[in-house]
Structure 1
Amino acid sequence: MNIANKLTVARIIMIPVFLIFLLVPMNLGVLGSGPFFLPVSQLLAGFIFIIASITDWLDGQLARRKNLITNFGKFSDPLADKLLVMSAFVSFVGMGRMASWMVVIILAREFAVTGLRLVAAGEGDVIAASKVAKWKTFSQMLTIISFLFNNIPFGPGGFPLDQILLWIAVILTIISGADYFYQNRDVLLRSR
């Protein structure tokens, strides 16, 4: 197993650790006071998520630069990304911090694009990640990080940065999903 694939596996292993710190009640203390406080367990979850997100970028860089692209990596890297991001979004819904309809849109796009990729693979085609999809993933990860380190006021009337980023992530999710289906419409037409 090459280093890029090891980083992908490490990211998958970090997911339950991230979820434990985020969701399991722990009395590790609180940082800050008043409206600006953060439970230590949530801070640790945030650092784990950031490290996992960095491995996403790093394994891709290593795989391309050192020609370490494998079938395992093609399968497991996007799976690890989806597991990491979706586990965070679903957790925030369960915690009452995110609107469920927004997360349903994000989940629906992921399932739809995965389905499109499966149809393309059946036809012998590979659908690579587009630039818009990379921006979508970045915006989703940034949104999650902002929710993990919440209580950052921003904008007129102190509108929270995490909510602004969530809207951006949802909009980019819709745009990237539409882009995938438009750019690969021939795959669907051939499979009719």
Structure 2
Amino acid sequence: MNLPNAITVARLVLAAVFVGAASLATPAGNLVALVTFVVAAFSDFLDGYLARKLNLVTSLGKLLDPLADKILVSAAFIHLSAAGLCPVWVTSLIIAREFLVTGLRQIAVEQGEVIAADNLGKWKTTFQLTFCIAALIWLLVENNPESPLHGLTKPNGWLLLVSLYGAFALTALSGFNYTWKGRHLLKG
């Protein structure tokens, strides 16, 4: 197993650690969940960069990388919905879109085609990760009004609202865009 694939597998392990830590719903658990999520999110950038830079792109990496991303993001949104920071319908849309696009890409690969990532998808990821990190910070500082992060990350504050509804809009748009690009694959 090469280095980028090992980083991807580590992200799957970090997703499990995130779920365990987040489920504790304690300050220590929230801190571990936040740090784990940030490290896992950074590893998504790192494994792709290394795979391209070192010419280590593999079929396994192409399969595992998006799967690890979907698991991490889905776990975070489910947790944040359970914590009351994200409407369940937004989480449902995000998870449905993630797995729809992954399935569509897999069908494309099986038919010898590639549906490449586009800028909408990259912006979607940026907004999703921003929301998740800001919301996880809120869970850490919500009982500490003296924290400089308290006002920035509060649920009705601009950062959470803009990143959440930006993620929602970009998720819907990019999901439609990928479906449109791959519509010929769905005709059977």
Structure 1 length as normaliser, TM-score? Answer: 0.84
- Identify unmatched segments of 5+ residues in structure 1: 27-38
Paired residue for 1:33? none
Contact 1:153 1:160 in 2 (8 A): no
Letter aligned with residue 64 of structure 1: R
Alpha-carbon distance in 2 for matches of 1:99, 1:184: 29
Paired residue for 1:57? 45
Contact 1:153 1:161 in 2 (8 A): no
Contact 2:33 2:136 in 1 (8 A): yes
Find the partner of 1:43 among 12, 23, 31: 31
The alpha-carbon deviation at position 159 of structure 1 amounts to 2.9
The alpha-carbon deviation at position 117 of structure 1 amounts to 1.8
Paired residue for 1:18? 18
1:6 aligns with 2:31: no
Alpha-carbon distance in 1 for matches of 2:102, 2:17: 26
Letter aligned with residue 153 of structure 1: G
1:119 aligns with 2:87: no
Alpha-carbon distance in 2 for matches of 1:101, 1:25: 22
Task: Supply the RMSD in Å over aligned alpha carbons.
Answer: 1.9
Paired residue for 2:180? 182
Alpha-carbon distance in 2 for matches of 1:108, 1:129: 17
Paired residue for 1:30? none
Identify the range of structure 1 (164-173 vs 110-119) with the bigger mean alpha-carbon deviation: 110-119
Letter aligned with residue 9 of structure 1: V
The alpha-carbon deviation at position 160 of structure 1 amounts to 4.5
Alpha-carbon distance in 2 for matches of 1:113, 1:59: 20
Q: Which protein is bigger by CA-based radius of gyration?
A: 1
Alpha-carbon distance in 2 for matches of 1:127, 1:168: 23
The alpha-carbon deviation at position 25 of structure 1 amounts to 4.3
Alpha-carbon distance in 1 for matches of 2:77, 2:128: 9
Letter aligned with residue 170 of structure 1: F
Alpha-carbon distance in 1 for matches of 2:110, 2:15: 30
Find the partner of 2:82 among 78, 91, 94: 94
The alpha-carbon deviation at position 186 of structure 1 amounts to 3.1
Deviations 1:60-81 (A, max 9, x none): 0000111100111000000000
Higher relative helix content:
2
Higher relative strand content:
1
- Identify unmatched segments of 5+ residues in structure 2: 143-149
Deviations 1:70-105 (A, max 9, x none): 111000000000000000101112222211011111
Letter aligned with residue 4 of structure 2: A
1:79 aligns with 2:67: yes
Q: Percent identity of the aligned residues? A: 41
Alpha-carbon distance in 2 for matches of 1:82, 1:130: 17
Q: After superposition, where does 1:165-180 map in structure 2 within 5 Å?
A: 165-180=163-178
